[in-house]
Amino acid sequence: MLYLNDQKLSPSAPSGRSILEFIREEQQLKGTKLVCREGDCGACSVLLGSLQADGKLHYQNITSCIAPLANAYGKQIVTIEGLNLKNGRLNRIQQALKEAAATQCGFCTPGFVVALSNMALQKAMGKDLSPKDALSGNICRCTGYKSIERAAKQIFELLQREKPDLQKLVQLELLPRYFLNMPQKLKELQHQQSSNGQPSFQHTFVGGGTDLYVQQGEALSLGEVSPLCSQSQLSGISVKNNTYHIGAATTISQIREHPQWQKDFPKLHEMLRLVASLPIRNMATLAGNFVNASPIGDMSIFFLALGARLQLLHLAQNKTREIPLEDFFLDYKKTALQKGELIQSLSCPRPDAHTHFSFEKVSKRTYLDIASVNSALKICIKNQHITEARLAIGGVKAIPLFCKKTSDFLKGKELCSKTLRQATEILQDEIAPISDVRGSATYKRLLAQQLFFAHFIKLFPKTFKLKTLLA
Ligand SMILES: Cc1cc2nc3c(=O)[nH]c(=O)nc-3n(C[C@H](O)[C@H](O)[C@H](O)COP(=O)(O)OP(=O)(O)OC[C@H]3O[C@@H](n4cnc5c(N)ncnc54)[C@H](O)[C@@H]3O)c2cc1C
Ligand code: FES
Ligand code: FES
């Protein structure tokens, strides 16, 4: 069961059907648009509301074209129709877009309204979302964006002035009134809902669906899937004995918004802004990124540098085993995951006062693009000496690469330009990039070196300058 706007439904569609198809085909709500079907354009944006452990309703925007219906069970899907005021007037966001002349053909407009409604809801949940971040998953082919930016700024300023809670969002006509009843309605739904059961190997495991539904969306839409995001034991972040324990189905947004992570990694927000767009980060899970095994998977590179270990669960045998993330990637798109196993969780040490962490990514577009080369570095420094180093680079081999030789070389060395220059020679030996659409092998070799230097220049700006490193 789920809520579609304010209607409780028990969908008869298979659990693998995309939310977009469910909305448009089964429910005949045509306001949500189908354009790219790859999570890129945001025309299909909807809000997904879910009840949190503290009883509060949490909303986020997602791209419904690549999200399985199963991920909405027990939750509320809000479409553009569900954002209309009952009195027939345009709501404040729709009005702002109209006044700014921010709609031409109008195909993208429902997605922009949903994204700005998400910005308003985030504010009501105590989170500041800039217009740029809020609209990072939406593309418009007509307006040139300036008019949309004006409308977004107007709404953003209103939110900054009013500091609204949910009640106030309704008073300001940013949302329709029925939103106020949804926490209670979802609580009741949760009581009626039977448990989601255990993941089943008979059906395809789905995390957020952001890889699977781009590749196999049509086939998956016809049948059942085994949703992992609804398994509470596979989600969430905890800290014990200075070690992070993270459920496999934890999303990139959950990491980015986690207070302890933000404290331990002060640049976290900026670093993870380089990964996909807001709606994709709201859906994409860490395990999905690892199992996809793309050589440029951002989270694979991030967690390789952090020294993550994976806990794998064999479902039928109810047995777990643990492996370092670097041993998980065997060859191009080949992993150590055995038949019958899933990733249950991962763990990695919390950084201490001597630890520094950096993530860099170069892609054709700065945002909303996959990397040509990406890299992460964790380094511990005591008395100007490197006591531990873990360097990971993507896009330079068939797998996301933990650079063991370079990392081993750095350990114990003085933190100085000479050490870094020697390390880049080892690094060049350790990588084997190929030429492809994302750049030539020569270009990727150069990027690997520059990103390696960039880590140090940004972490220790007083010690390192590019000019002296290249001298
Ligand atoms: C528009 C767009 C932009 C993107 N940008 C980026 C980017 O900038 N950087 C980047 O790295 N990626 C990017 N991606 C790729 C994708 O979002 C990530 O790889 C994401 O982390 C995949 O997670 P998911 O939960 O959606 O995976 P899913 O699609 O749900 O699953 C992927 C694979 O993992 C398996 N799986 C999932 N969870 C488990 C588990 N616990 N145990 C075993 N198997 C499991 C599934 O069966 C499937 O084979 C982008 C994708 C889109 C659509
Ligand atoms: S249709 Fe483009 S993101 Fe869904
Ligand atoms: S108004 Fe036409 S795509 Fe945005």
Q: Cα of 342 to ligand 1 centre, how many Å?
A: 14
pLDDT score, position 320: 96
Cβ atoms within 10 Å of 12's Cβ, excluding its own: 7
Q: Cα of 208 to ligand 1 centre, how many Å?
A: 7
Residue nearest to atom 47 of ligand 1 (CA): 205
Contact 401, 409 (CB under 8 A): no
Structure tokens at 98: 């109209």
Q: Cα of 120 to ligand 2 centre, how many Å?
A: 22
Q: Which of 214, 205, 259 is nearest to 234 (CA)?
A: 205
Pocket flag, ligand 3, residue 138 (CB < 6 Å): no
Residue nearest to atom 5 of ligand 1 (CA): 276
Q: What distance in Å separates the CA atoms of residue 359 and residue 394, rounded to the nearest whole number?
A: 11
Q: What distance in Å separates the CA atoms of residue 100 and residue 150, rounded to the nearest whole number?
A: 6
Q: Cα of 286 to ligand 1 centre, how many Å?
A: 7
Q: Which ligand is nearest to the CA of 106?
A: 3
What is the best residue among 21, 36, 368 to mutate for testing ligand 2's pocket, by most ligand atoms within 8 Å of CB? 36
Atom index in ligand 1 nearest the CA of residue 205 equals 47
**DSSP H or E run through 287:** helix 286-292
Pocket flag, ligand 2, residue 34 (CB < 6 Å): yes
What is the best residue among 44, 235, 291 to mutate for testing ligand 1's pocket, by most ligand atoms within 8 Å of CB? 291
Burial letters 419-449, b for 16+ CB under 10 A, else e = bbeebbeebeebbebeeeebbeeeebbebbb
Sign of CA dihedral 169, 171, 174, 176: positive
Pocket flag, ligand 3, residue 148 (CB < 6 Å): no
Burial letters 355-387, b for 16+ CB under 10 A, else e = bbbbbbbbbeeeebbbbbbbbbbbbbbeeeebe
With a cut of 70, which residues of the chain have pLDDT below it? Answer: 193-197
> Which class would CATH give 2-192?
alpha beta
pLDDT score, position 219: 95
Q: Which ligand is nearest to the CA of 103?
A: 3
> Which class would CATH give 355-470?
alpha beta
Pocket flag, ligand 3, residue 104 (CB < 6 Å): yes
Q: Which ligand is nearest to the CA of 214?
A: 1
Question: β-strand 329-331 against 45-51: which pairing, if any?
Answer: unpaired
Domain ranges of the chain: 2-192, 355-470
Atom index in ligand 3 nearest the CA of residue 103 equals 1
pTM: 0.96
Beta bridge mates, 76? 3, 49
pLDDT score, position 192: 76
∠ CA 383-388-392, nearest 5°, is 135
Q: Per-residue DSSP letters for 201-234?
A: TTSEEESS-TTHHHHHHHHHHTS-EEESTT-GGG
What is the best residue among 112, 142, 146, 148 to mutate for testing ligand 3's pocket, by most ligand atoms within 8 Å of CB? 142
